[in-house]
Structure 1
Amino acid sequence: MRKILLLFFLSLILQSCLYRNNEGRWTTDPAESAFEPVTVDRETFESTIAISGPREIERAGKIYVNGDMVYINEVNIGFHVLDNRDPENPENISFIEIPLATDLAIRNNTIYVHHAVDLVAMHYNLGSIEIVHRERNVFPRLNSPDGFLAEDFDLEEDQIIIGYQTRN
C-alpha cells in the first residue's frame, strides 16, 4: 500500500513539471505557447507616463481619496484625477497616463504607482507630474494568457512585456 501511495504522489509531483497548451496536450516546451510577448525597450517604456486632459471613465478599477482629490484607476491605462472639494459635483480635471498601471498608494503627497514591472514615486500638482523615483523590476513580468511564465520566453533584460498576441 505504501508503494502505491508513493508512486501516486511521485506521479503528481512529476506532472507539475509539465505545461498544458491550448489543444489540451501536455508539454514541457514553452515554445508551444499560443502567444508571443509584445515588448518595448526600457527607455521607451519609461517615457510612457504622461498627463493629459480629462476623459470619460470607461473601465474603472480601484478608487483612492487623498484630501480633496480622488484618483480612479482606468485598468491598465492610467488614473483619472478628480477635484472633490464639492462632493456633490466632483470635477474630472485630468488623466495620468500610465500603461499597465493597476494600483496606486499615496503617502505624504507622494503617489506610488505600479507601472508594469516598476514602482514609480511621483508628485502630482494640478496638471503636471514629476517623477521622483523609479524602482526597476520590483514586480514580476506579465505572464502569457495560456499560463506560460514571462521567463519561459527568450527576451533581452531591457525588454518590457506590455502584452501578448497570438502566434501566427
Structure 2
Amino acid sequence: MKFKYLFLFLIGCLFVSCSSDDQQFEYYKVAKPITLSVEELRSSVEILPVQNITTSGKIYAYQQYIFINDVDKGVHVIDNRNPLQPSRINFLKIPLNRDVSIKGDYLYADSGMDLVVFNIADINNIQMVGRVENVLENYIEYPEEAQFYNWDDYDYQNDIIVGWQVTVERREVIQYDDEAISVGDSSGNSSGSGGSLARFKIVNDYLYAVDNSKINVFDIQNLTSPVKVNEEYVTWEAETIFHENDKLFIGTRSGMYIYDISQPSSPQYISDFDHLKFCDPVVVDGNYAYVTLRAGASCMDGETQMLESRLEIINITDIYNPQLEETYFMDEPYGLGIKNDHLFICDGASGLKVYNKADVSNLQLLQTYASINAYDVIPLGDKLLMIGANKLTQYSYTDTGIELLSEFTIQ
C-alpha cells in the first residue's frame, strides 16, 4: 500500500513539473541560414540549358530578347523575336542575382558582393568573361515569418547566406521589454531597358548600381572590364534607380533622392522627398515623379503600418524642392511605367491598371487586367512587357490603352 501511494505521489509531482515546464516553453519558427563559401559562390556560375523557374523577379529587354531574373538563382533568357510565341533559350546560373543591365552585347549582373560580366553576342553560346570582386553590398532578405534565428553553424567571415530553412522548434519563453522578438544571437553602343524596380542603370559609359545604401559607379568604357570608380552614400534601404536626362532618381523605403550626373563619375546630391516607410519604386516623366508606396510587413520591417498603399505624384519642376502634387490609394502596388499619356501600375493581386495621366490631378482609370498578379512592367516603343507570378505577358498599345498579345508561363 505504501508503494501505491508513493507511486501516485511521484506521478503527481511529475504532472505538476510538466505543467510548470509547459508554461515556460512555446513553439517558435526558427530560421537557419543556408550558406555557401565565397569560393563555392564564385565557382558556381554556369550557362545551363533551359531550367524551370522558381520565383520570377525583374525583367530586362535587349534587342529581341528578354531576360527574366529568377530571384537569387540567375537569369532566364527568352527569345522574343515572335512576341506571340516567345521561347526559352538558356539559363544563366548566377547565385544571389537580382539585377542585370546590358550594353553592346555585354551583360552585367550582380552575384552577391560581386559584379559579373557575360558576352551575349552569340545568344546560344553565352560566355562569362569577367568578375569584379567585393564591389557591392550583399543584400540579405530575411524570412518574414521567422521568430528566432539559429546562427550556430554560421561563419560570418567565410559564409555567404543564399537562403533559409525555417522549422518549428520548442523553445523556452523569453520575456522582452519591447514588443518585437529578437532575431537570435549574431556572434557596345546600345543598351537595354529595365523596369521601375531595377537597381542597375547604364548611362553612356557608366553603370550605376544601387545596393542597400549606396550608388556604386562603374566605368564600362572597356565593356569586358568594368572598373569601380566611385560610390556615393544615399541612405539605408535604397531600392531602385531611374534615369531621366542628367538626373538619377533613387527610390528608398524612406523617400526619393535626386542626384545630378552631369559629371558621370561623381553623382551629386540635389534634393530628396521624404515619406513614411514603404517600398518605393519611382519613374519620372517631365515635371512629375510617380512613386508607388506599398504597405506591408516586408516593407515596414515590423514597424506599425500607418498608411494605406498609394501612388504619390511629386512635382519636380523645382528640382531642389520637390512637392507632393497628388495622392491616389492603391491595393498592393509594385512596379510602374509610363508611355506618352498612359501610366501603367502593377497593383499586385489586383492586377495591371492603365491610367490616362494627361491631368495628374484627375487620373482616369482606363483598363484593369484583374486576372493576373502584376509585379513590374517595361514600356517599350512597340509593346508593353509585364512580369508577375512566373508569367511574362505582352501587350500592344492602342489609342485607349493596351491589348493583350501573348501570355508565356515559365515552367
Q: Residue type matched to 1:160 in 2?
A: I
Aligned residue in 2 for 1:133: 130
Q: Which structure's CA Rg is the greater one?
A: 2
Aligned residue in 2 for 1:64: 60
Q: Could you tell me whether the CA contact under 8 Å between 1:141 and 1:161 is conserved in 2?
A: no
User: CA 1:69–1:162 in structure 2 vs 1: closer, same or farther (change >3 Å)?
Assistant: same
Residue 113 (1) aligns with residue 94 (2): no
| Structural mapping, 1:141-160, within 5 Å | 141-142=139-140, 144-145=142-143, 155=155, 157-160=157-160
- Alpha-carbon distance in 2 for matches of 1:91, 1:38: 32
User: CA 1:155–1:91 in structure 2 vs 1: closer, same or farther (change >3 Å)?
Assistant: same
Using the TM superposition, give the Cα deviation of residue 126 of structure 1 relative to its aligned residue in structure 2, in angstroms.
Answer: 2.7
Q: How many residues align?
A: 135
Q: 1:40 aligns with which of 19, 22, 36?
A: 36
Q: Could you tell me whether the CA contact under 8 Å between 1:37 and 1:144 is conserved in 2?
A: no
Q: Residue type matched to 1:159 in 2?
A: D
- Between Structure 1 and Structure 2, which shows a larger proportion of helix residues? 1
What TM-score comes out, normalization by structure 2 length?
Answer: 0.29
Q: Could you tell me whether the CA contact under 8 Å between 2:72 and 2:162 is conserved in 1?
A: no
| Structural mapping, 1:11-50, within 5 Å | 34-50=30-46
Aligned residue in 1 for 2:96: 100
Please list every run of at least 4 consecutive aligned residues from structure 1 whose deviation after the TM superposition is greater than 4 angstroms: none
Using the TM superposition, give the Cα deviation of residue 99 of structure 1 relative to its aligned residue in structure 2, in angstroms.
Answer: 2.2
User: CA 1:157–1:83 in structure 2 vs 1: closer, same or farther (change >3 Å)?
Assistant: same
Unmatched segments (≥5 aa) in structure 1:
1-22, 24-33
Q: Could you tell me whether the CA contact under 8 Å between 1:64 and 1:72 is conserved in 2?
A: yes
RMSD: 3.1
Percent of pairs with identical residues: 33
For 1:101, what is the secondary structure of its paired residue? coil
Using the TM superposition, give the Cα deviation of residue 57 of structure 1 relative to its aligned residue in structure 2, in angstroms.
Answer: 4.2
More divergent stretch after superposition (108-117 vs 55-64)? 55-64
